Structures are given as structure tokens and as C-alpha cells.
Amino acid sequence: MTATRKVIALESRLKGCRNVITLGARPNFSEYSKEEASLIRNAGKIYYPTTFYADLFDSIGKKTFPSYHTYKCVQDKIKQTAVFNLLEIPHPATRVYYGRRCREKIICDFDFPFIAKVPRGSAMGTGVFLIKSRNDLEEYLNETSPAYIQEYIKADRDIRVVVIGKRVVHAYWRIAAPGEFRSNVAKGGSVELYHVPDEALELALYTAGKCGWDDVGIDIINTGGQYYVLEANMKYGKEGFRKAGIDYIKLMENMIERGEI
């Protein structure tokens, strides 16, 4: 019986995969044992290396999964918006404002209500605000800089499309809870598995490919028949997989075994 080929991972996302040796993410490379350091040095690819090590591995030409490009945009909405605009990927009107005197410019550029977000480090709907008035804007600006402002597209649902490697592995609708403008499951949203339009799947796959992202949950909204990419989530949750009865660990084991990732 042929022994299972094992790959090396640092972060714990693949812990439980039979074909993955998870070493843990150490802040100092010197903390790895001689044997662990050798495994890292000799691996053709490192899985889930963390943002810190992805940068270092890229600099020495070592491949990673997710890709270096994927890590460059983790929880950074400013970079994501910039790359969407650069690549002409449909994206709600969005602007970033610096400085304490930006409130009048924001009001000039956007009509109430609009969306304001904490531009870096936020996830699962945290740090996303519906700004309905000057008072709301003032409270947001007192807490957040720079200001990340986006047009509000009124909808009670959006689509999460998960792309791993070069294919869509799962897609589902996220329905906002009553009275909630955010559809995130962490904010009370529900997962619905009815048909996801091909246009949304194609847009997600196109976006991931053009941006160089190979492990990402892309959020898409439809308004008036037009699909827009809201943002990309490189640390997406697995509730949608559980709801669909998809064994995420088995999925990743098989993709590694087949050389898809």
C-alpha cells in the first residue's frame, strides 16, 4: 500500500487532514526544532504559512498555499478596492478618505444612507456601519481612520462564493436577519442553498483568477440584474460547508492529493 504523501502547514486550518503535518506558526523561526526547520526548508510548498511567513517565503522563491497574492489582501479592504478598480471588476462606488476634515467631502460625494467600514482587520460583519445621518458619520470618524466609505446597495441577501485552487467549491446565499442590513452569519444571517446564478459564479472565479487569489470567499450582490463584488474574505467561515453537508477537511485532503492546491 502506497504511503500517503504529506505536506507541511504552519497555521492550524488543515489540522486533522491525514496528509498534512501541521507545525504551528512560531513568531521566531529559531523556535522550530532542527527537524521542523528542515521540513520547512525542504518542502516544495508550505500550506497556510501566515501573512508574515508568506512574505518571507515569496522573497526566497518558495511556493505557498494560499498564494502570496492572497495573503497580501487579507482583511485589507483598501487594497481590495484598489485592485478591483484597477482590474475593472464591478464593485460598489467606494472611496477612502484621510485626515480629520474629510466629513464634508464624504457628504458631498455620498448621499445618506451609505456604508462605512473599518478598512483593515475587521471581519464577520464587525466594523461595518450603516450611516444614516451626520451624527452617525461623526461617531464613525471619531473611531476610525482612514475612512472607508461605500455606497449602500439595499438588499436582504448576498452570495458567498468560495474559490479554492482554480475552481468554485461551494456557493450559497446569505440572508440577513430581520432588521439587520448585514447578511453575515455572525450577525444572525442564515445560509440558504438554493440555486446560485451562473453569473455570480463566473464573476467570483474571474475575480479570484485576475487577483491571484486561490483560497477566498467572495461576496457578491445583485441589484437591477447587475452583479457586484462587495469584498473578499480570505478567512471565511465554514458554516456554509456544514449546512451543505460538505466535509471541509476531506475536501482539502482530496484537493491536496490530486495536486489541485
Give the start-to-end residue ranges of the domains of the chain.
Answer: 7-65, 93-151, 157-257
Assigned architecture for domain 93-151:
2-Layer Sandwich (3.30)
Q: What's the pLDDT band for 124 if we cut at 50, 70, 90?
A: low
Contact status, residue 76 vs residue 119, Cβ threshold 8 Å: yes
Torsion of Cα atoms, 30 then 17 then 47 then 3, to 10°: 90
Averaged pLDDT for residues 242-259: 97
Averaged pLDDT for residues 179-185: 83
Averaged pLDDT for residues 232-246: 95
Residue 146 has pLDDT above 50, yes or no: yes
Report the alpha-carbon distance of residue 23 to residue 2 in Å, rounded.
24
Average pLDDT value over all residues in the chain: 94
Q: Which amino acid is at 104?
A: E
Take residue 70 and report the three cell numbers written for it. Answer: 492572497
Q: What's the pLDDT band for 121 if we cut at 50, 70, 90?
A: confident
Residue 187 has pLDDT above 80, yes or no: no
Residue 93 has pLDDT above 80, yes or no: yes
CA 205, chain centre distance (Å)? 14
Q: Which amino acid is at 126?
A: T
Residue 179 has pLDDT above 90, yes or no: no
223 Cβ contact partners less than 8 Å away, ≥ 6 residues apart: 153, 155
Averaged pLDDT for residues 24-42: 97
Full-model pTM: 0.93
Assigned architecture for domain 157-257:
2-Layer Sandwich (3.30)
Q: What's the pLDDT band for 15 if we cut at 50, 70, 90?
A: very high
